[in-house]
Amino acid sequence: MDRNTISVGIIGFGTVGSGTAKILLNNKQLLKDRTGIDFNLTKIADLDIARDRGIKIPDGILTTDASEVLNDPKIDIVIELMGGIHPAKDFILKAIRNKKHVITANKALIATAGNEILSDADANEVCVGFEASVAGGIPIIKVLREGLIANNILAIYGIINGTSNYILTKMTNEKVDFSLALKEAQRLGYAEADPTFDIEGIDTAHKLTILSSLSYGIPFLYNDVYKEGITKITAMDIEFAIELGYKIKLLAILKAANSEIEMRVHPTMVPNDYLISKVDGVFNAIYVEGDAVGSTLYYGRGAGDMPTGSAVVADIVDIGERIIRSQKSRVRSQKKAAEFKIRKMEDVDSKYYFRFSALDKPGVLSKISGILGSYNISIASVIQKGRRIGGAVPLVVLTHLAKEKDVTQAIREIDQLPVVSDKTLFIRVEGEEA
Ligand code: HSE
């Protein structure tokens, strides 16, 4: 008789674990109708199995011992949803060695240890699914692996951290400062008690690392991603941005040109007429440009039990169907280091917004513009607001395309001028040259 049952075990019964279990139990018949396969939730391991998660779990499934999932010969797919690096990595490697397929939502782990995990999985002829690791419910991994497989990926712009997007949206709409917006994000449960990964661009860089590997067939190169968070952005910069026709977003940017790949995460001024400038609150969006398809955009919830559970279950179905049809996973061709080049941040070209804290005195602008000119940085527009005789005022300058290396050197020089009273803030600007 043909096999039509797949058994899965979950390690980690937190937010995503609960959502995944809910979908597997509540939509069991729907999944069977669509695939002909019975997906059985066989075990769930967590240190805390007493807390009520609002789902009725049938008897005999909950355990406090992860090895009951890892060593159960009935279980085909192990789903790691505990997060963190250890012991999640050890559990995944153990599952792979036990010839079990693995699914994870753990972007930090895939971004930093994905090369080792995937090569172990190849050697053991099992699959690793990580759809839930980037942008929660948005099926962006499937888009890159399948939907856009015919394309050279020219560029990706992603808003892929809901917490930072919530904070920036609140600062924009309510004109509040960063610290107040962060407190509100924490109160609502969007930001972790330690929000470092979200606000310093680390979580976004983990996800960008995964997107870059899928887009360009390169290894996971987390340490090569340039990262800058949103903590220096003030309500004043957001107001200037609005006045200039932009929104400030924390963007993950991937670009490929002249056989070089750019991988960077930083606050970015996005023109108001770009659709992603309108992506607000905790929502995520990813713009992907392919050489054949042109511009495409994907939007949805990047976190939460049910959206992320939706992505985990999609992986379960995908891998389950492969197991039933005895199909191997697709060959993963990975470029060797000599076959691609990651562009150094200092060589990146961008337009820039500068906010100088300059004394309001005759000749100050010409001193600043003189230094910019000496580094080949051409000014597109200037705004100065307010007047404080003898005091510092914000002087805002937008540039044409300039090189990052020149910008950092020019700013260093400008910040030493006696007429400049505070460190200059700069934000990279996207959009066509006027
Ligand atoms: N901390 C993440 C975010 C959750 O804010 O988007 C999902 O990865």
Closest residue by Cα to atom 4, ligand 1, is 303
* Closest among 15, 67, 13 to 44, alpha carbons compared: 13
pLDDT in tens, 122-132: 999 999 999 99
pLDDT in tens, 155-169: 999 999 999 999 999
Q: How close is the Cα of 353 to the center of ligand 1, in Å?
A: 27
Mutate to test the pocket of ligand 1, among 130, 199, 203, 206 (most ligand atoms within 8 A of CB): 203
Q: Do domains 5-137+305-336 and 348-429 have the same CATH topology?
A: no
pLDDT of 434 > 90? The answer is no
Residues with Cβ within 8 Å of residue 87, at least 6 apart in sequence:
66
pLDDT of residue 329: 77
314 with 135: CB under 8 angstroms?
no
* Closest among 15, 27, 56, 42 to 306, alpha carbons compared: 15
Closest residue by Cα to atom 8, ligand 1, is 303
Q: How close is the Cα of 190 to the center of ligand 1, in Å?
A: 8
Any ligand 1 atom below 6 A from CB of 350: no
Residue 254, H or E segment = strand 246-257
DSSP per-residue string spanning 275-339: GGGG--TTEEEEEEEETTTEEEEEEEE-SSHHHHHHHHHHHHHHHHHHHHTTPPPPP-----GGG
Any ligand 1 atom below 6 A from CB of 302: yes
pLDDT in tens, 329-358: 777 778 988 899 999 999 999 999 999 999
Any ligand 1 atom below 6 A from CB of 163: yes
* Closest among 50, 55, 49, 46 to 21, alpha carbons compared: 55
The two tokens of residue 275 are 């659709």
Q: Where are the domains of the chain?
A: 5-137+305-336, 140-301, 348-429
Q: How close is the Cα of 113 to the center of ligand 1, in Å?
A: 19
What homologous superfamily does CATH list for 348-429?
ACT domain (3.30.70.260)
Sole residue written with tokens 């400062």: 177
**DSSP state at residue 53:** -
pLDDT in tens, 250-303: 999 999 988 899 999 999 999 999 999 999 999 999 999 999 999 999 999 999
Percent of the chain with pLDDT over 70: 98
For the entire predicted model, the pTM comes to 0.97
Mean pLDDT value across the chain: 95
pLDDT of residue 387: 61
Any ligand 1 atom below 6 A from CB of 167: no
Catalytic residue from among 89, 107, 207, 227: 207
Q: Is the peptide bond before 87 cis (omega within 30 degrees of 0)?
A: yes
Any ligand 1 atom below 6 A from CB of 203: yes
Beta-bridge mates of residue 45: 11, 63
Q: How close is the Cα of 283 to the center of ligand 1, in Å?
A: 10
- Residue 423 annotated as catalytic: no
Residue range 5-137+305-336 forms a domain whose CATH class is alpha beta
Gap between the Cα atoms of 342 and 216, Å rounded = 11
- Counting from 1 in the atom list of ligand 1, the atom nearest the Cα of 105 is 8
* Closest among 132, 401, 392, 171 to 267, alpha carbons compared: 171
Q: How close is the Cα of 162 to the center of ligand 1, in Å?
A: 5
Gap between the Cα atoms of 265 and 263, Å rounded = 7
pLDDT of residue 398: 97
Q: Which CATH architecture has domain 140-301?
A: 2-Layer Sandwich (3.30)
Q: What are the backbone dihedrals phi and psi of residue 71, each rounded to the nearest 5 degrees, phi first?
A: -105, 0
Any ligand 1 atom below 6 A from CB of 303: yes
Gap between the Cα atoms of 25 and 334, Å rounded = 37
pLDDT of residue 30: 98
